[in-house]
Amino acid sequence: MKTQPSRKNLVELTIPFRGKSLSRALLIVATDATLFLILLALTVYLSNFFVRLLASIALGIVITRLFIIGHDCCHGAFFASPRLNKFVGRIVFLPSLTTYSLWEIGHNVLHHSFPNLKGRDYIWTPKSKAEYDAMSPGRQRAERFYRASSIGLAAYYLVELWWNKLIFPNKFHVGARRKAHLWDSMLVSAFALAWVAFVVSAAEIRVTSVLAAICFSLIIPFGVWIYLMGFATYVHHTHPHVAWFDKKEAWHRALPQIRNTVHVTFPLPFSAVLHNIMEHNAHHSDINVPLYELPAAQGVLEAQLGESVVVQPFSYPAFHHCLSACKLYDFANYQWLDFAGNVTAQTQPFAAEFTTSA
């Protein structure tokens, strides 16, 4: 039986993929920024309903791509220069209306440091049966909606993450407020106002429906972006075989950056369209690997770690099984439960082929 690799061992596997290419990074940013501007213009000026709708959906996908670039910048992985990462990261976050410094503290400091550890990680943390039973009826309905339907994934990201934590949040949601949070929130708000003003002005110049322009140029793209992020954040760390923990000692033994993360694969180049964000084990193992090197790093991890990496080929039956099984969680027995408290899945918190290193 092999000895479970340490954090140092994992990093050694991915160090060869940390190299940054300035020209490649700038080309990616320029391409997606140009696509954003072109598609935004098309959603305003096109007349054909179906073509306009396609442009609107494509705009939402490009917003997601820009966000993923910003996500890489926030980790310091996209450019070699820390200043360039911070500058570009703030700019490419704007179309998703995401506040850079608030995302940094929640995502980098909490989620990446403690994935699937209750009380530290805050994304899709499951409730215990006792916690669920103690909720108000309204809060129980919200929890059921979030976890029982694919549309609920978008609602969760919109309300619980974006609205509560990523745009002018109060101290209850982010703890201490800093000046950077306020200035970044104001920057996002100014961009949102400029976006609305452009769309309204363009619609008035064309003497066309302002409401339709706002729907195609703002509401639908933002909705697509919200759904994609709700979906991605859910499938990255929620799976019938993936455990959650409420005790740090057990969490440490579980190879958390690998074992608590899911690699969702697709038959079509869906992950490439989303800048390889689905190669998530490699990203959690080493946040310094830029997005364009993640497929290669993921391949090495899977070759070296075998079944320790949870790989889930995407299918609608598998996705809906996950939605059905992963409602509440029994942290003592590492079991997923339904809302009635029945066991729906036994997770595998510790990789069977490894012993724990000293």
Q: Calculate mean pLDDT across residues 2-20.
A: 75
CA-to-CA distance for 209 and 277, rounded, in angstroms?
37
b/e burial code for range 64-85 (CB count within 10 A of at least 16 → b): bbbbbbbbbbbbbbbbeeeeeb
Contact 99, 185 (CB under 8 A): yes
Q: What value, to the nearest 5°, has the Cα angle with vertex 28 and ends 25 and 33?
A: 125
What is the rounded average pLDDT for all residues in the chain?
90
Contact 206, 138 (CB under 8 A): no
Record the tokens describing residue 235, joined without a space: 């499938």
Share of the chain above pLDDT 70, in %: 93
- pLDDT-based confidence at residue 1 (cuts at 50, 70, 90): very low
> What's the predicted TM-score (pTM) here?
0.92
Q: What is the pLDDT of residues 222-232, one digit of tens each?
A: 999 999 999 99
Q: Are strands 2-3 and 354-355 parallel, antiparallel or unpaired?
A: parallel
Q: Which residues contact 220 (CB under 8 A, 6 or more apart)?
A: 53, 56, 57, 59, 60
CA atoms within 13 A on the CB side of 297: 30
Q: What is the pLDDT of residues 158-217, one digit of tens each?
A: 999 999 888 877 666 666 667 888 899 999 999 999 999 999 999 999 888 999 999 999
CA quadruple 39, 45, 47, 51: dihedral, nearest 10: -10
Say which range, 1-15, 20-34, 170-184, 186-200, has the weakest mean pLDDT: 1-15
Q: Which residues contact 328 (CB under 8 A, 6 or more apart)?
A: 126, 127, 128, 129, 132, 336, 337, 338, 339, 341
**pLDDT for the residue numbered 5:** 60
